[in-house]
């Protein structure tokens, strides 16, 4: 029998994240959404509570949480404010390839530093001309003696404007397509410039920047995994982080659902609360089912990882379904509010704006379908195979 019971420790982790979301994130979330200001104080408090760097092993100074614990936290952060939540979660995305491919010395150096004091790490994969098509990237890393010299621009980089380190993907063999990409840890220095801060539709509290590497020199010791194996490292990273995005989408949807149900019990039309009307009840019912199903897929995708099994298919199922559901649920939550849902004072409109990015970042809804189709047609869904390493 499948057991969905959480341990006391897991319940405590979820409760701690929920308290933080309710008492620290929510009171400032709408202000940061309004002016797009950087929530540094909130992030520092999140770092103190180890709501950042959740998967860094204990031997390197982190809390060493498993993936199920990670998604429990991310759902609460999404419920609190997914803009601030994304900034808290971004170290996890950037550190996953270090965890997978970094040498002992590199892990001690970088993880030791970012767990010792508040520091940010940004994941640099996407480029202006290479979003879904990762292999189309143009950033290069040339080997010169014991170093690599990196040149190129990366866009849509979460926390990019404030990062102390970057995990950068670059072509080490430009003629070799996806088999010519390598990944590196790049500490911030004067050769790394922040070119543009994006003014976004949603998740306005998170910083999203273009970062350019201008003859940036890193030692060969900062290479992650083997040279030219960076594409696979990126895919293995996304397998590990898409469950977190699915969890955050579930949290946003849950917040919107709560607002819609509360409002439906208060708002009177035709002499009764609108919750008494079947038209509203059907919307509420569909919202509730989508949230439950999103959470179940999310937990499954995390539990497979915790069991040491390949979760590529489950991860894309979860990310695709939870993100699409989040968009639908938040749109319906605005609909339940009628005209008031369109007014900022009612707060639910922020959730609908925040939801959109869930279908875009860490692989669009269409990319998830591509992965699902490929995995299914290859028959890998029949039995999850053990994870291979880079």
Spell out the long-range contacts of 184-189 with Cβ–Cβ below 8 A and sequence spacing 24 or more: 184/141, 184/148, 184/150, 184/218, 184/222, 184/223, 184/224, 185/98, 185/102, 185/106, 185/110, 185/218, 185/222, 185/224, 186/124, 186/150, 186/213, 186/216, 186/218, 186/222, 187/218, 188/163, 188/164, 189/216
Distance CA 14, CA 17 (A): 5
- Residue 385 burial by Cβ neighbours in a 10 Å radius (0-12, 13-18, 19+): exposed
Within 302-331, which residues bind ligand COS (CB under 6 A)?
A: 312
- In this structure, how many other beta carbons lie within 10 angstroms of the beta carbon of residue 199? 8
Among 76, 127, 362, 375, which one carries the catalytic annotation? 362
Q: Are 200 and 353 in contact, with CB atoms under 8 Å apart?
A: no
Cβ proximity to ligand COS: between 132 and 289 the closer is 132
- In this structure, how many other beta carbons lie within 10 angstroms of the beta carbon of residue 112? 13
Name residues whose C-beta falls within 8 Å of residue 361's C-beta, 6 or more positions apart in sequence. Answer: 156, 158, 245
Q: Which stretch binds ligand COS (CB under 6 A): 203-211, 251-259, 299-307, 359-367?
A: 359-367
Torsion of CA 187, 193, 197, 198, to 10 degrees: -90
* The binder of ligand COS chosen from 236, 274, 303, 318 (CB under 6 A): 236
114 near ligand COS, rule: CB under 6 A:
no
Cβ proximity to ligand COS: between 125 and 256 the closer is 125
Cβ proximity to ligand COS: between 68 and 238 the closer is 238
Cβ proximity to ligand COS: between 119 and 242 the closer is 242
Cβ proximity to ligand COS: between 238 and 291 the closer is 238
Q: How many residues would you count in the chain?
A: 390
Rg (CA), the chain: 21
Within 142-201, which residues bind ligand COS (CB under 6 A)?
A: 178-179
Q: Which stretch binds ligand COS (CB under 6 A): 35-43, 164-172, 276-284, 370-378?
A: 370-378
Cβ proximity to ligand COS: between 89 and 260 the closer is 89
C-beta of 229: minimal distance to ligand COS in Å? 9
Distance CA 225, CA 162 (A): 26
C-beta of 146: minimal distance to ligand COS in Å? 27
366 near ligand COS, rule: CB under 6 A:
no
* The binder of ligand COS chosen from 323, 358, 371, 372 (CB under 6 A): 371
Q: Are 348 and 341 in contact, with CB atoms under 8 Å apart?
A: yes
Residue window 216-235: x/- pattern of binding to ligand COS, with contact defined by CB under 6 A: ---------------xx--x
Residue nearest to ligand COS (CB): 363
C-beta of 49: minimal distance to ligand COS in Å? 25
203 near ligand COS, rule: CB under 6 A:
no
Within 124-143, which residues bind ligand COS (CB under 6 A)?
A: 125-126, 132, 134
SS3 label, residue 378 = coil
Residue 31 annotated among the catalytic residues of the structure? no
C-beta of 239: minimal distance to ligand COS in Å? 5
- Residue 88 burial by Cβ neighbours in a 10 Å radius (0-12, 13-18, 19+): buried
Residue window 237-266: x/- pattern of binding to ligand COS, with contact defined by CB under 6 A: -xx---------------------------
Interface size with ligand COS, residues (CB under 6 A): 20
C-beta of 61: minimal distance to ligand COS in Å? 25
C-beta of 168: minimal distance to ligand COS in Å? 13
Name residues whose C-beta falls within 8 Å of residue 116's C-beta, 6 or more positions apart in sequence. Answer: 61
C-beta of 286: minimal distance to ligand COS in Å? 28
Helices and strands (H, E) in the chain, number of each type: 10, 10
C-beta of 97: minimal distance to ligand COS in Å? 11
101 near ligand COS, rule: CB under 6 A:
no
Q: Detail the DSSP E strand segments found in the chain.
A: 121-124, 140-144, 147-158, 165-171, 181-187, 192-197, 208-219, 223-224, 268-269, 272-273
Hey, which residues are catalytic here? 362
Residues in touch with ligand COS (CB under 6 A): 125-126, 132, 134, 178-179, 231-232, 235-236, 238-239, 312, 361-363, 367, 370-371, 374
């Amino acid at each position: 029998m499948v057991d969905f019971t959480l341990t006391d420790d897991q319940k405590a982790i979820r409760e701690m994240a929920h308290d933080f979301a309710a008492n620290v994130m929510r009171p400032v979330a709408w202000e940061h959404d309004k002016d797009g200001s950087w929530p540094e104080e909130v992030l520092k408090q999140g770092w103190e509570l180890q709501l950042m760097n959740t998967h860094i092993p204990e031997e390197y100074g982190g809390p060493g949480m498993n993936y199920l614990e990670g998604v429990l936290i991310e759902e609460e952060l999404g419920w609190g404010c997914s803009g601030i939540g994304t900034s808290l979660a971004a170290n996890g995305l950037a550190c996953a390839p270090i965890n997978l491919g970094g040498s002992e010395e590199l892990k001690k150096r970088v993880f030791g530093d970012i767990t010792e004091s508040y520091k940010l790490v940004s994941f640099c994969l996407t480029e202006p001309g290479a979003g879904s098509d990762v292999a189309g990237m143009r950033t290069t890393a040339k080997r010169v003696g014991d170093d690599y010299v990196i040149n190129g621009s990366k866009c849509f980089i979460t926390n990019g404007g404030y990062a102390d380190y970057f995990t950068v993907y670059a072509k080490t063999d430009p003629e070799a397509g996806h088999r010519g990409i390598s990944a590196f840890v790049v500490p911030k220095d004067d050769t790394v410039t922040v070119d543009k801060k994006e003014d976004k539709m949603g998740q306005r509290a998170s910083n999203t920047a273009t970062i350019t590497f201008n003859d940036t020199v890193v030692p060969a010791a900062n290479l992650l995994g083997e040279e030219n194996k960076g594409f696979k490292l990126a895919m293995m990273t996304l397998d590990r982080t898409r469950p977190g995005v699915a969890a955050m989408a579930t949290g946003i949807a849950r917040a919107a659902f709560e607002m819609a149900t509360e409002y439906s019990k208060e708002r009177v039309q035709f002499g009764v609360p609108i919750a008494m009307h079947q038209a509203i009840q059907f919307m509420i019912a569909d919202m509730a089912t989508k949230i439950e199903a999103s959470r179940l897929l999310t937990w499954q995708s995390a539990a497979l990882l915790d069991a040491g099994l390949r979760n590529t298919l489950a991860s894309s199922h979860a990310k695709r379904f939870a993100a699409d559901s989040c968009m639908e649920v938040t749109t319906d939550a605005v609909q339940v509010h009628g005209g008031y849902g369109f007014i900022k004072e009612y707060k639910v409109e922020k959730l609908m704006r925040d939801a959109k990015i869930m279908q875009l970042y860490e692989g669009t809804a269409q990319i998830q379908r591509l992965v699902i189709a490929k995995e299914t047609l290859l028959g890998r869904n029949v039995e999850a195979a053990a994870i291979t390493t880079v």
